[in-house]
């Protein structure tokens, strides 16, 4: 199969921890503008797959090609620069800075926290902050201190900080954990907007949310793919019902 049609092509990806294969010859292909959800029981290898893609964990074998570029030998920093963003469950925002400043310091051509104290804001940065703030539903609260945001807004702000770096692939670990029903719906709309011009991989346990957002679902079990496809097909798959959804 040619890699050229995919934003991300994972082939035969394997990682062993002391002889235990947490991810075992995994093949996964993500399209442009696709929103893929990875599900599976605890210990299936979901987090490890995202850790491998973002370079946090190094693979034992196999390849990860992002826009045809091999990522397995790159550092985490180089992978971010290549256009892959990863959000973990706990938001890492600057609580004492405003929403605006949190976005501003995340701009790749920005000057970081210290630099922004000494330099005037360029029109380019202001425009990018406004664009992303609109996308994450925060354009009216740019001056608010991040500490005062709701749990959901903090999650969106962190997504916004990642979007400031203009990723072409964004990976999110349980983005609606702890959110209210309204915030979940708003997050579904946000993810829908994000994948208009980027690809997204989400790990998620909340099946109602998965149904709302997924273009395609990958079910992992014991480090391998158990099933893959549209949510309704995957849900009807007997192997999936047996190991996972039937619980």
CA distance 213 to 194: 11
Q: Is 45 in the site for ligand ADP (CB under 6 A)?
A: yes
Q: Is 42 in the site for ligand ADP (CB under 6 A)?
A: yes
Q: Is 235 in the site for ligand ADP (CB under 6 A)?
A: no
Work out the end-to-end distance of the chain between its first and last CA atoms, rounded to an integer number of angstroms.
35
* One residue of 17, 108, 124, 151 binding ligand ADP per CB under 6 A: 17
Closest CA to 240 of 218, 223, 210, 211: 218
Least separation, in Å, of the C-beta of 42 and ligand ADP? 4
Least separation, in Å, of the C-beta of 173 and ligand ADP? 8
Burial class of residue 119 (count of CB atoms within 10 Å of its CB; 0-12, 13-18, 19+): exposed
Indicate the residue among 48 and 186 with the shorter CB distance to ligand ADP: 48
Least separation, in Å, of the C-beta of 207 and ligand ADP? 15
Least separation, in Å, of the C-beta of 131 and ligand ADP? 33
* One residue of 13, 22, 129, 217 binding ligand ADP per CB under 6 A: 22
DSSP string, 228-244: EE-HHHHHH-HHHIIII
* One residue of 8, 13, 35, 46 binding ligand ADP per CB under 6 A: 46
Pairing of strands 199-203, 169-173: parallel
Indicate the residue among 99 and 220 with the shorter CB distance to ligand ADP: 220
Q: Is 48 in the site for ligand ADP (CB under 6 A)?
A: yes
SS3 76: helix
The number of residues that bind ligand ADP (CB under 6 A) is: 10
Q: Is 7 in the site for ligand ADP (CB under 6 A)?
A: no
Q: By CB under 6 A, which span of 44-52, 118-126, 158-166, 211-219 interacts with ligand ADP? A: 44-52
- Sign of torsion, CA 71 73 75 81? negative
* One residue of 9, 26, 44, 132 binding ligand ADP per CB under 6 A: 44
Closest CA to 146 of 184, 176, 104, 110: 104
Q: Is 197 in the site for ligand ADP (CB under 6 A)?
A: no
Which residues, in sequence order, are CB contacts of 22 under 8 Å at separation 6+? 15, 16, 45, 48, 223
CA distance 146 to 117: 18
Question: Could you give phi then psi for residue 223, rounded to 5 degrees?
Answer: 75, 5
SS3 176: coil
Least separation, in Å, of the C-beta of 202 and ligand ADP? 13
Least separation, in Å, of the C-beta of 48 and ligand ADP? 3
Least separation, in Å, of the C-beta of 16 and ligand ADP? 9
Q: Which residues bind ligand ADP (CB under 6 A)?
A: 17, 22, 40, 42-48
């Amino acid at each position: 199969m040619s890699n050229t049609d995919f934003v991300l092509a994972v082939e035969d990806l394997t990682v062993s921890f002391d002889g235990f294969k947490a991810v075992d010859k995994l093949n996964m292909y993500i399209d442009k503008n696709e929103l893929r959800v990875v599900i599976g029981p605890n210990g299936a290898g979901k987090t490890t797959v995202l850790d491998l893609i973002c370079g946090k964990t190094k693979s034992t074998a196999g390849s990860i090609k992002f826009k045809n570029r091999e990522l397995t030998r790159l550092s985490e920093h180089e992978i971010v620069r290549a256009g892959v963003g990863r959000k973990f469950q706990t938001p890492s925002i600057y609580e004492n800075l405003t929403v605006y400043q949190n976005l501003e310091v995340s701009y790749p051509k920005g000057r970081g926290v210290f630099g922004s104290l000494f330099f005037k804001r360029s029109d380019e940065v202001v425009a990018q902050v406004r664009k992303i703030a609109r996308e994450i539903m925060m354009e009216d609260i740019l001056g608010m201190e991040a500490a005062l945001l709701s749990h959901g807004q903090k999650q969106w702000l962190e997504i916004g900080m990642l979007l400031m770096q203009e990723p072409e692939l964004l990976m999110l670990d349980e983005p609606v954990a702890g959110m209210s029903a309204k915030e979940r719906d708003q997050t579904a709309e946000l993810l829908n907007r994000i994948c208009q011009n980027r690809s997204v991989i989400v790990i998620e346990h909340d099946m109602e949310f998965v149904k709302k957002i997924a273009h395609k679902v990958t079910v992992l079990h014991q480090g391998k793919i158990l099933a893959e496809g549209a949510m309704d097909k995957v849900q009807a798959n007997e192997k999936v019902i047996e190991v996972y959804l039937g619980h």
